[in-house]
Copies of this chain bind each other. A is one copy, B any other.
Amino acid sequence: MTDKFEQLKSRLARISDINASAGVMGWDMRVMMPPGGVQARGDQLGTLGGLAHEMFVDEEVGALLEELAAEFKSMPFEADESSIIRVNMRDYEKQVRIPTELVIEMAQVTAAAQQAWAEAKAKSDFSLFAPHLEKVVALELRLADALGSPSGNPYDALLDQFEPGLNYQYIDGVFSGLKKPLVELIEQIKAHADRVNDDVLKREYPEAQQIAFSKEVGAALGYDFKRGRLDKSAHPFTSPNMHDARITTRVDEHFLPSCVMAVIHEVGHGMHAQNISESLYHSGITFPGLAIAESQSRFFENIVGRSRAFWEYWYPKLQAAFPHLNDTSVDTFYRAINKSEPSLIRVEADEVTYGLHIMLRFEIENELINQRMKVANLPKEWNDRMEAYLSVTPPNDAQGVLQDIHWSGGGFGYFPDYLLGSIFASQLWEVFKKQHPDIEDEIRSGKFSTLLDWQRDHVMKHGAKFTFPELSERATGQTLSWEPYMNYLRTKYSEVYGL
């Protein structure tokens, strides 16, 4: 038994190394690579992705997994060994359905598409990106077909990739429940829009000080810069290798939250990666599904990072970095960074309207993948829905359909996990606060370790051991529910807007 497990682990270790290499190469492509490298990088990522895939779907891996599953049957569900078998088995059964050529083609096409997206966005010209997106969608359809979908909705196969076990019907159920009270809250806030002014965020904030302040906040929250680094990229992201979990941000010198809130978000992901149990290194079950991942980034970004207690501690330091803030009270600043107003850019949207940005993408993805919408019509469809849901119209595609990198990388089925993450984060916060009723006092006095310790023990250390429903059950004792999220928003925004 031990011998077979060692055989499996040595195979998983090599595959892990290749995937980790592809992770670094992907980070490099988006942060460091000169433009001339794009074609060759596509080849390299194609080869690495193809190799990792080939090595994982090897029949001997399947045979080892099957034998070990039988042998480990009586082991506790949460043990490292049984989890490594269970989760890899689940992934194996998916992966064997995907032809190697498709993996290679996907890596090549998306490498070019990401470069084209960056150029299209810079020039605000959707036509530069459209032919690449057509190819990506066609590949997604082939992928969905290969994976298969019990419900018959090909989008389910894609959703399941990013968070195993989730599907359109389940997500639509949660989102539908949330939609009505959320729209009501947005209406209430709209009626009192004049009560919050965020002009203070649009002053001059030089880049160097923004980066320095963001790094200080990240380190204080517990992000380990010895096992990570912070760089700039077009769209903030985290490269979640557990010993080298790099984060990126962007900087707008005339809108403070662009950088610092993105850093806190990515720090949430980065700490998540850095706090995965060392015993899972090389096991192939390290970084979890994206709704679990987003529960951490959104917990730190919104629930912690946009709280009054948090800024009562940090605001004096922010004033020291930007002395023009000395004329503004922490109360005004706190309400400014929580200003809620329908807007164009998802990553800069407030917590309340954010949900509608996701619901829009969730619907468009479902229609694109079900071939009820054409790529060529995307800009119009996008703009029409922005108008319908949020009463705003993008003045150009850069601020509309081109704003997110995800689709260029083949990330269909990814967006819903952001909102699911927020919903789960609120549920975690509800439980956490019951166990630590003094947490806001701690945060107010600059003590952040209780937050990370709790999340490490309840979520982070488990890596990808548990599915979203399993983890939610274990960490909160409940299944996923939108109510704690809605309660959290209602309480917070009633106070911010004096509703």
B44 to A21, Cβ gap below 8 A?
yes
Contact of A227 among B37, B48, B242, B281 (CB under 8 A): B37
Say yes or no for A20: interface residue by CB 8 A criterion. yes
Query: Quick one: closest B residue to A33, CB to CB?
Result: B244
Residues 26-48 of chain A, each 1 if its beta carbon lies under 8 Å from chain B, else 0: 00100011111101110110111
Point out the residues of chain B lying under 8 angstroms from A51, CB to CB: 14, 18, 51
Whole-angstrom CA separation of A46 from B13 in the bound complex: 11
From residue A243, how far is it (CB to closest CB) to chain B in Å?
4
From residue A222, how far is it (CB to closest CB) to chain B in Å?
14
Whole-angstrom CA separation of A21 from B33 in the bound complex: 12
Query: Quick one: closest B residue to A241, CB to CB?
Result: B40
Q: State the interface size on chain A (CB cutoff 8 A).
A: 38
Residues 318-343 of chain A, each 1 if its beta carbon lies under 8 Å from chain B, else 0: 00000000000000000000000000
A43 to B17, Cβ gap below 8 A?
yes
Contact of A37 among B17, B32, B244, B281 (CB under 8 A): B244
B241 to A34, Cβ gap below 8 A?
no
B34 to A229, Cβ gap below 8 A?
yes
A17 to B229, Cβ gap below 8 A?
no
Point out the residues of chain B lying under 8 angstroms from A183, CB to CB: none
Point out the residues of chain B lying under 8 angstroms from A33, CB to CB: 244
Query: Quick one: closest B residue to A43, CB to CB?
Result: B17
B21 to A243, Cβ gap below 8 A?
no
Whole-angstrom CA separation of A462 from B51 in the bound complex: 30
Say yes or no for A228: interface residue by CB 8 A criterion. yes
Say yes or no for A405: interface residue by CB 8 A criterion. no
B47 to A18, Cβ gap below 8 A?
yes
Interface residues in A219-249 by Cβ distance below 8 A to B read 224-229, 241-244, 246
Point out the residues of chain B lying under 8 angstroms from A40, CB to CB: 20, 241-244, 281
Evaluate whether A14 and B47 lie within 8 angstroms (CB atoms) in the complex, with A33-B244, A244-B37 already known: yes
From residue A284, how far is it (CB to closest CB) to chain B in Å?
13
Say yes or no for A25: interface residue by CB 8 A criterion. yes
Interface residues in A243-258 by Cβ distance below 8 A to B read 243-244, 246
B48 to A228, Cβ gap below 8 A?
no
Whole-angstrom CA separation of A50 from B14 in the bound complex: 10
Whole-angstrom CA separation of A282 from B241 in the bound complex: 29
Query: Quick one: closest B residue to A21, CB to CB?
Result: B44
Say yes or no for A24: interface residue by CB 8 A criterion. yes
Query: Quick one: closest B residue to A42, CB to CB?
Result: B17
Whole-angstrom CA separation of A17 from B52 in the bound complex: 14
From residue A85, how far is it (CB to closest CB) to chain B in Å?
22
Point out the residues of chain B lying under 8 angstroms from A34, CB to CB: 225-229, 244, 246
A36 to B224, Cβ gap below 8 A?
yes
Query: Quick one: closest B residue to A23, CB to CB?
Result: B44
From residue A115, how far is it (CB to closest CB) to chain B in Å?
13
A243 to B39, Cβ gap below 8 A?
yes
Contact of A17 among B32, B48, B226, B228 (CB under 8 A): B48
Whole-angstrom CA separation of A244 from B41 in the bound complex: 9
Residues 146-183 of chain A, each 1 if its beta carbon lies under 8 Å from chain B, else 0: 00000000000000000000000000000000000000
Whole-angstrom CA separation of A37 from B20 in the bound complex: 11
Point out the residues of chain B lying under 8 angstroms from A243, CB to CB: 36-37, 39-40
B43 to A244, Cβ gap below 8 A?
no
Query: Quick one: closest B residue to A244, CB to CB?
Result: B37
Evaluate whether A20 and B44 lie within 8 angstroms (CB atoms) in the complex, with A25-B25, A51-B51 already known: yes
Contact of A21 among B25, B244, B246 (CB under 8 A): B25
Residues 169-200 of chain A, each 1 if its beta carbon lies under 8 Å from chain B, else 0: 00000000000000000000000000000000
B35 to A21, Cβ gap below 8 A?
no
Point out the residues of chain B lying under 8 angstroms from A48, CB to CB: 17-18, 21
Between A and B, 18 residue pairs with Cβ closer than 8 Å are A13-B47, A14-B47, A14-B50, A17-B46, A17-B47, A18-B48, A21-B21, A21-B44, A24-B24, A25-B25, A32-B32, A33-B244, A34-B225, A34-B244, A36-B226, A36-B228, A37-B241, A41-B244
Known: A25-B25, A34-B225, A34-B227. 14 other contacts (CB 8 A): A14-B51, A17-B44, A17-B46, A17-B48, A21-B48, A24-B25, A32-B32, A34-B226, A34-B229, A34-B246, A36-B228, A40-B241, A40-B281, A41-B244
Chain A residues proximal to chain B, CB less than 8 Å: 13-14, 17-18, 20-21, 24-25, 28, 32-37, 39-41, 43-44, 46-48, 50-51, 224-229, 241-244, 246, 281-282
